[in-house]
Amino acid sequence: MRLPCVRSVRPKDRRGENPLRQALIGGIGNVLLGDDGVGPYVVRLLESMYSFDESVEIADLGTPALDLTHQIVGLRSLILVDAVGGDDPAGSLVLYRKQDILQETPAQRLDPHSPALSECLMTADMLGAMPENVLLVGIAGKCYEPGHPLSAAVRQAVEPAIGAVLQELRQLGFAYQKKETPDEPGIWWSDHEVALVPIEMPS
- The domain that holds 83 is classified in CATH as 3.40.50.1450
What is the total count of domains within the chain? 1
Pick from 191, 178, 115, 182: nearest CA to 148: 191
Q: What is the pLDDT of residue 4?
A: 37
Pick from 104, 95, 110, 101: nearest CA to 141: 110
Which segments of the chain have a pLDDT < 50?
1-16, 109-113, 202-203
Q: How far apart are CA 116 and CA 152, in angstroms?
A: 28
Q: How far apart are CA 131 and CA 77, in angstroms?
A: 5
The answer to the question of residue 94 being in a domain is yes
Return the C-alpha torsion angle 159, 10, 3, 85, nearest 10.
Answer: -30
Domain that holds residue 144: 7-178
Q: How far apart are CA 21 and CA 90, in angstroms?
A: 34
Q: How far apart are CA 116 and CA 118, in angstroms?
A: 6
Q: What is the pLDDT of residue 19?
A: 54
Q: What is the pLDDT of residue 17?
A: 52
The answer to the question of residue 167 being in a domain is yes
Q: How far apart are CA 24 and CA 68, in angstroms?
A: 12
Q: How far apart are CA 157 and CA 138, in angstroms?
A: 10
Q: What is the pLDDT of residue 57?
A: 95
Q: What is the pLDDT of residue 18?
A: 52
Q: What is the pLDDT of residue 11?
A: 45
- Is the Cβ–Cβ distance between 187 and 159 less than 8 Å? no
Average per-residue pLDDT for the chain: 83
Q: What are the distances in angstroms from CA 126 to CA 64, 68, 96, 136? A: 20, 15, 21, 21
The answer to the question of residue 17 being in a domain is yes
Q: What is the pLDDT of residue 45?
A: 95
Beta bridge partners of 50: 178
- Is the Cβ–Cβ distance between 95 and 138 less than 8 Å? yes
Q: What is the pLDDT of residue 157?
A: 96
| pTM as predicted | 0.83
The answer to the question of residue 183 being in a domain is no
- 3-state SS class at 117: helix
Q: What is the pLDDT of residue 66?
A: 79
